[in-house]
Amino acid sequence: MVKFYDSIPESHIAWIRKQHIFYVATAPLTGEGHVNLSPKGLDGTFHIESPNRVWYEDLSGSGVETISHLRENGRITIMFCAFEGAARILRLWGRGHRHASSRAAIVMDVEKVSTSCGYAVPLYTFKGERSALLQWGEKMEKLDQEFSPRAPDDGDVDPAKTVTVDTDLGPRVYLKGSMRAWWVSMNLRSLDGLPGLRSAHLSDAALETGVAVRGEPEPPSDGTVVILGNKIPKGQRAGEVRKGVLLPQNVGEAVRLLVVFVLGLVIASAYGQSMLDSGSVIVARAGRLAAILE
């Protein structure tokens, strides 16, 4: 049964900190605008300051919906749900704002909390954190450390390696592939045209990741299928796949394949012997029947 609270219960704080994923929902005021729902993760990015205040590190990505919506109206909901252990859904309702940092920290003042059963949520086993986002960000921020934003006539500018963008401070030059160049191209406006980042891309302060890159290597996301450790490119016809030789990539895979092969032989042999025995019984019974008929 659903229960409501005015703050996060002390008994639930440890459970929240153990969760590997949470969801953030925001929306613009206009009825035609896009409601946004973002899954968030990475260990250590969600923080509980008090029973009525939480914040999380809003890492750079392909959009800026949450920041844009909070600038306009401040409404935000954060949800946790149990994928392991006892079923539970916990929601935080409140008002949020962006706290300026390297990109952003989303700070939320919690006004209402609810817990409910979550019996329809399936059970999943946590495998590990992904490392792709941190590796991607670290690479781009290193470029920012080498070249800070500047006016077109300020210092050495190579047009082949830079891009010039009109900003509130006038034309600014960014190094291609840098994090600030990404912010300018992807994070200044929401899907509905609301303002997103306002100043992070204009600062000439050096960027630092501040987070150790960790986690599992990213699996293929381009439609590639991995079979026994062999990558089968997207679009390859089934016939071409069958012609390929799929070899085990490690000792564990080789042992599993051998066990399955031997087990298959045992089952096939037992089935064949069973069929032979059945055939013998049928022949014997047919012989007796013939004798009786004679």
Give the mean model confidence (pLDDT) for residues 44-55. 96
Element (H, E) at 241: helix 238-243
Angle between helices 179-186 and 132-146 (to 10 degrees): 110
pLDDT at 25: 98
The pLDDT of residue 127 is above 70: yes
Residue 71 CB burial class (10 angstroms; 0-12, 13-18, ≥19): middle
| pLDDT-derived band at 102, boundaries 50, 70, 90 | low
Give the mean model confidence (pLDDT) for residues 109-138. 93
Over the stretch 63-91, which tens digit does the pLDDT of each residue have? Answer: 999 999 999 999 999 999 999 999 999 99
Angle ∠(88,94,100) on CA atoms, nearest 5: 115
What are 178's two structure tokens?
């840098």
Over the stretch 210-224, which tens digit does the pLDDT of each residue have? Answer: 555 555 666 655 555
pLDDT at 26: 98
Over the stretch 139-170, which tens digit does the pLDDT of each residue have? Answer: 998 988 888 888 888 777 888 889 888 887 78
Mean pLDDT score across all residues of the chain: 81
Over the stretch 225-259, which tens digit does the pLDDT of each residue have? Answer: 444 444 445 554 444 444 444 555 567 767 777 88
Rounded CA-CA distance 29/68 in Å is: 11
pLDDT at 214: 55
Residue count of the chain: 294
pLDDT at 283: 43
Of 29-38, 190-199, 264-273, 275-284, the poorest mean pLDDT is in 275-284
Residue 65 CB burial class (10 angstroms; 0-12, 13-18, ≥19): buried
Rounded CA-CA distance 141/134 in Å is: 10
Give the mean model confidence (pLDDT) for residues 13-28. 97
The pLDDT of residue 285 is above 70: no
Per the confidence metrics, is the pTM higher than 0.75? no
Rounded CA-CA distance 118/90 in Å is: 9
| pLDDT-derived band at 260, boundaries 50, 70, 90 | confident
| pLDDT-derived band at 277, boundaries 50, 70, 90 | low
Bridge partners of 4, per DSSP, are 114
